[in-house]
Amino acid sequence: MAPSKIKNFFARKKAEAKLKFGVAGPGRKLNSTAPPPASSSKAGPSKDDVYVPPKRSEPSAQAKAAANAALARFEGKDKKEFNTSLAAIRAQVRKELEAEKKAKEADAEHEGERQSTEQQDAEAKKDFAVQGVYFRCPMIGEEVLPYKEWKVKIKEFLYEQLAADRGLTACLIIYNCNPKDKAEVCIETLSKCIENIVNNPNEEKYKKIRMTNRMFCEKIKVCEGALEFLHAAGFAEIELDGEPHLIWSEDNIEPDCSVEVLLEALKASEPIPLELDRNLQVLLPSQVKRSNLPPDFFRVSPEEIKREQQLRTEALEQAQILKTKAMREKEELRTINRYKFSLIRIRFPNGVYLQGTFNVYEKLSQVYDFVHSCLMHESAEFTLVSPGGQKFDDQELQEKSLYDLRHVPTVVFNFSYENESKNLTDYLKEELMLLIQSF
């Protein structure tokens, strides 16, 4: 029965009950002429005359399902009702338990893979000759940190300085907190904006920048520090014709500053320099067996390196040919071009090794300076000899880079005292010998 019809049905029944019990009054005999005696109270139905509906038991689940189906048919609906039978409930429970079990198994599998990967990474690190490449930044602090950590620290440091000197700090933020290509484009565009104002002080068109402009969005807005620079240079944000604009006014320039000074600072600023830390280590012969280098040494990702090695192996298997000198040199260059840093080791006659990290473009003379600073006898003459027996005591050779000499990614030099120092038997400083560790 439709809901509207059900409401009408109950309304009609209420009207009938009211007619029967509420207005008829008490009865009397048809042949009686006297009215019934008056009553002190309003006549009404007695307790025995009131209809009490019988109590009905709760319909069963099957009856409910049948009623729902009948109601759906009556309303013209083709509706599939939920099956509440015991078999259907058991099937649904079983299905959900199986799904839960599969989900737990998948989670366990993923967790196992993650732990396996972490274990493999830990094992690989144990085999690294050095744990990473580290830097110093004397302008900011004395910490020795990886490159990525220094970039974060430099950014935090610069943003802390914005309140004190917004203009000059913004120039440094542009240089140090953005990719090089974006920073260069941004600097060029900002310089042109400021130069237009300086060279054309009466031209109003150069004093207004629409912030929805494509050039502004693609070259300025995308760079950190750019908006701060413009604010310091005298630009203020306002809304014109329903669009945000930057409007320049000389009154907005920060005290003790000028657009000429900011323009010069923008062009003269440089990235905050990081100094490569040598990560000096003194090793025993057994510790030098480790030759694998961490990802920090490479220009490309470890995945790309593995892929390249695999392709090279397959190429060698497919074409076993005699290589010309030019082919060997080309392959050698392709190999060393993958590295940014080189691990240099110096073997002393007493079997101890001195190890340091160098940029591939540093000169061999810088390796000599590094060794010289570690010697117990600082005035002693010495030379470094390659594994092939070549002495690098020539000044011209020492001015060549490690890249030019192909001392990448690792090389072991043999240390040898020269001339009057040949009789010396002590090598490294005592405090450095204490760096020897057991792994």
Question: Which tokens sit at 329?
Answer: 């040199």
Tokens of 362: 């540093």
φ, ψ for residue 292, nearest 5 deg: -70, 140
Q: Which CATH number is associated with domain 336-435?
A: 3.10.20.90
The CATH number of domain 137-275 is 1.20.58.2190: yes
Rounded to an integer, what distance in angstroms lies between the CA atom of residue 278 and that of residue 272? 19
pLDDT tier, 373 (very low <50, low <70, confident <90, very high otherwise): very high
Q: What percent of the chain has pLDDT over 70?
A: 70
Q: What is the pLDDT of residues 175-195, one digit of tens each?
A: 999 999 999 999 999 999 999
Distances (CA, A) of 354 to 25, 55, 202, 372: 122, 100, 66, 11
Mean pLDDT value across the chain: 80
> Is 13's pLDDT higher than 50?
no
pLDDT in tens, 106-135: 887 777 666 665 565 555 567 788 889 999
Looking at residues 22-26, what average pLDDT do you find? Answer: 47
DSSP string, 404-422: TTT--SEEEEEEEE-GGGT
Query: In sequence order, what are the residues at sequence separation of 6 or more whose Cβ sits closer than 8 angstroms to the Cβ of residue 164?
Result: none
Contact 341, 360 (CB under 8 A): yes
> Domain residues of the chain, as ranges?
137-275, 336-435
Residues above pLDDT 90, as percent of the chain: 46
| Over residues 382-405, mean pLDDT | 89
